[in-house]
Amino acid sequence: MGIETVELIDILDNKLSREDRYNISLNLRKWLVLNPDKIIGLDISAGMLEVGKKKITERKLDSKIQMVLGDSENIPYPDNYFDCVTVAFGLRNMTHKNRALKEMHRVTRRGGRLIVLEFSKVWKPLERIYELYSFKLIPRIGKLIAKDEGSYRYLAESIRMHPGQKELAKMCRDAGFENTAIRFGTAARGQ
């Protein structure tokens, strides 16, 4: 029996904005069903924290959720503090992933969980189609709809540079997590 469980949930076919990524990571309804005493959101971007604080206030959850400015490579909490640490569509953008994973392990209590929701590499037979979709079609759609081709090109490139599922699972084990499991799925945003 291992100390912690890591679930790597790979998102293969969705292109989400920063706000959508934040909405998913802050999936309040699911967390509140668990009825935790407190939920803490940590982000290095003051702007993203403001988006989160606004949503928390709108939902009247100020007493349950705290937003903290901080760096995932130096999490401002003591060892073994959290029952569960989650990161949604953010690990890919962290400069020092290994350092961040070790920090997440440090603050996760024995028997706790790390859940990583992230884009990843596709099944090898679909790789060429996915490359065309990601690097040709998605940036054009981004340019047409969002007037922002660059962000959508960056998204595709950051996914290409992100470790594959097996490599990421190994990085989690190297950071101290055990019982790593890879799950595949899709994400959708609803009202």
The domain that holds 73 is classified in CATH as 3.40.50.150
Residue 54 lies in a domain: yes
Number of Cβ within a 10 Å radius of residue 155: 21
Residue 109 lies in a domain: yes
Range of the domain at 102: 5-121+162-185
Q: pLDDT class for 64, splitting at 50, 70, 90? A: confident
Residue 64 lies in a domain: yes
10 backbone dihedrals φ, ψ, rounded to 5°: -95, 130
What's the domain count of the chain? 1
Beta bridge partners of 119: 11
The residues, ordered by sequence, that sit 6+ positions from 138 with a Cβ below 8 Å of its Cβ are: 15, 152, 155, 156
Residue 152 lies in a domain: no
Residue 128 lies in a domain: no
Model confidence pLDDT, tens digit, residues 18-51? 555 555 455 544 554 566 788 899 989 898 889 8
Model confidence pLDDT, tens digit, residues 129-144? 888 888 888 889 888 8
Residue 150 lies in a domain: no
pTM, full prediction: 0.74
Residue 24 lies in a domain: yes
Residue 33 lies in a domain: yes
- Cα–Cα nearest to 153, from 121, 131, 182: 131
Mean pLDDT of the chain: 78
